[in-house]
């Protein structure tokens, strides 16, 4: 038996992904939740499964074969995905580029670029079959547009997300499938803890004394663009806290 609207979320175990799961569930959407931490997925399934159908699958998006397997083995009732939220991603190594381990660069590229490509490629046939109103929502970052010290490969991967989203729009013209790059600014999630490898003090310092975005703020924007009438596509949505803006150019002086 086919259900109503179905959303496929990567990185659903925390942050924007988990908040998006709750937001879509509140609107009655069926959920496919993926992430690397199965216990967190199961906890979210226990939380939301009484309201809407929920299917969970442990998944590392960097593994193309695993992505194909998860998509290929979706239960029949969950197969007609209407919205893909490519949320899985991370930042590592906020130090200057010359101080960073190469492995951290590779991890960001493999997750933020290769992982996003793996999932998108696997679900494109389904989304095209769904047609008008189907959506791909890619989680980018203001770092993909605006450089800052320590962003190096992270910012470059998010610039890829932006351009990949635009190029998908070109190729999918006429299919009815929409593509949006949502680019958050400062948002208080586990982002900084991951980036600093568990430095709670660094995380608290970043967000103290200001009002950052929340995961729920971004989830609301994701839901908004995915639930617009089928003839509307938001190409890119850059969302920053009111209390965050840009600094002048840095200048090296004698």
Judging by beta carbons within 10 Å of its beta carbon (0-12, 13-18, 19+), is residue 233 exposed, middle or buried? middle
Residue 159: CB atoms within 10 A of its CB come to 17
Q: Contact at 8 Å (CB) between 108 and 90?
A: yes
Rounded distance between C-alpha atoms, residue 206 and residue 63, angstroms: 32
Tokens in use for 48?
Answer: 């939301």
Query: Is 154 an annotated catalytic residue?
Result: yes
DSSP, collapsed to helix, strand or coil, labels residue 88 as: coil
Rounded distance between C-alpha atoms, residue 89 and residue 105, angstroms: 13
Judging by beta carbons within 10 Å of its beta carbon (0-12, 13-18, 19+), is residue 249 exposed, middle or buried? exposed
Say how far residue 66 (Cα) sits from the centre of its chain: 18
- Selecting among 148, 154, 166, 224, the annotated active-site residue is 154
Rounded distance between C-alpha atoms, residue 233 and residue 24, angstroms: 19
Rounded distance between C-alpha atoms, residue 217 and residue 213, angstroms: 6
Q: Would you name the residues annotated as active-site residues?
A: 154
């Amino acid at each position: 038996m086919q259900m109503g609207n179905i959303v496929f979320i990567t990185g659903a175990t925390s942050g924007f992904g988990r908040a998006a799961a709750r937001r879509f569930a509140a609107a009655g959407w069926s959920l496919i939740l993926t992430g690397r931490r199965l216990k967190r997925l199961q906890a979210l399934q226990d939380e939301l499964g009484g309201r809407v159908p929920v299917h969970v699958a442990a998944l590392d998006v960097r593994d193309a074969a695993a992505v194909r397997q998860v998509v290929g083995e979706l239960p029949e009732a969950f197969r007609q995905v209407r919205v893909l939220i490519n949320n899985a991603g991370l930042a590592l190594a906020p130090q200057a580029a010359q101080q960073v381990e190469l492995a951290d660069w590779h991890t960001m590229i493999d997750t933020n670029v290769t992982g996003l490509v793996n999932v998108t490629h696997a679900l494109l046939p389904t989304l095209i079959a769904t047609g008008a109103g189907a959506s791909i929502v890619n989680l980018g970052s203001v770092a993909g547009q605006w450089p800052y010290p320590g962003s190096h490969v992270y910012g470059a991967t998010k610039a890829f997300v932006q351009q990949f989203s635009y190029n998908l729009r070109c190729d999918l013209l006429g299919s009815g499938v929409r593509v949006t790059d949502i680019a958050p600014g400062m948002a208080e999630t586990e982002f900084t803890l991951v980036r600093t490898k568990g430095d709670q003090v660094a995380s608290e310092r970043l967000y103290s004394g200001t009002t950052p975005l929340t995961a729920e703020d971004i989830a609301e924007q994701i839901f908004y663009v995915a639930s617009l009438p089928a003839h509307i596509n938001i190409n890119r949505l850059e969302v920053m806290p009111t209390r965050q803006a840009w600094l002048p150019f840095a200048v090296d002086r004698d």
